[in-house]
Amino acid sequence: MTQPGSIKPLIPQGWLRALLFLIALCFVSGTAIVVYFFARQNGGNPDITALQNLMKGNNLLSIALIIFILCIALIFVFRRWIDRKSLSSLGFEIRGHRGEAIAGAMLATFIVCSACLLLKATGHLRWMDILFDSRALFIAFGSIVIISFCEELIFRGYILNNLMESFPGWLALLISALLFTIFHGTGQSSIGFFSLANSLLMGLILGLNYIYTRNLWFSFSFHIAWKFLEGPVFGFSGDQTFQTFLQPELTGDINITGGASGLEGSFVLTSVTLLSLIALFLFLQRKFNLQFRPVPGRI
């Protein structure tokens, strides 16, 4: 009788499954965006302005929903027929992981708020006005939840999970974080060293807890809290995708303020995030090494 979990994957190499998934995801999501874009033109001639407006407001939420559905469907297909494992085994178990979900949101809040307070204390930031638009905040939050959920399923749930079957934990984490950085870099209108560095550090934090726990709730809550506070709440939207609650005015060196890249282009955020990454690593090492011996796939 075949035991649960004993069915071998259709493709033995985890890295190859992750690569094929990335290729399929790029093709499917790219096709969906192109179809949606031309469907919105209503027979008009597409131009660069129409393309820029595609990623704002209700359009962003619609695209997020489309990508979310396609992402779930594609991951289900790969998980069921390529990996030959259950979808839930990616790390959806909430029992015993509620504390991690809370910790993820708290850590993201600490990082973003600390960076903002440092900018304000040094005279590089002040908020000029408050614009409360409940509808805009709801759309922004909904879009961020869906986008964050998709990204965590893709980069931590599927890619990192499969890479850990082929490489040591630290290497799998680094590769997944680099892929996450490349993904975010291609979606930014302004790319600088610190914006790439912050994306890489964020990818490392999001994946670090996963390689110890194989659970996604920490990264889900961290990702949502980071993006919602940074953009819709504090006003560092960078690409002006969302109507923000606070209206910031930034003065001084763009390497400190972030400039057109928003807060993610700031050296201040880099410093706080790096220190938080080190603290999280030391905490997880201490917590798990005290409880049991290291197992394959963990640092």
- Spatial separation of the C-alpha atoms in residues 163 and 176, rounded to whole Å: 8
* Residue linked to tokens 């680099």: 178
Where residue 2 falls among pLDDT bands split at 50, 70, 90? very low
Lowest mean pLDDT among 32-46, 173-187, 245-259, 277-291: 32-46
Q: Count of CB atoms within 10 A of residue 221's CB?
A: 23
Confidence (pLDDT) at 235 = 85
Instruction: Specify the DSSP element, H or E, that contains 182.
Output: helix 169-186
| Residue 287 reports pLDDT greater than 60 | yes
Q: Which amino acid does the sequence have at 269?
A: L
Task: List pLDDT tens digits, range 209-265.
Answer: 999 999 999 999 999 999 999 989 998 865 556 678 888 888 988 899 888 788 888
DSSP, res 280: H
Confidence (pLDDT) at 258 = 87
Task: List pLDDT tens digits, range 56-112.
Answer: 555 667 777 888 899 999 999 999 999 999 999 999 998 888 999 999 999 999 999
| Residue 4 reports pLDDT greater than 70 | no
| Residue 44 reports pLDDT greater than 80 | no
Residues sharing a CB contact under 8 Å with residue 254, sequence separation 6 or more, in sequence order:
260, 265
CA-wise closest residue to 270 among 201, 178, 204: 201
DSSP, res 91: T
Confidence (pLDDT) at 47 = 52
CA-wise closest residue to 196 among 236, 255, 150: 255
Confidence (pLDDT) at 242 = 66
Q: With H, G, I as helix, E, B as strand and everything else as coil, classify residue 248.
A: strand
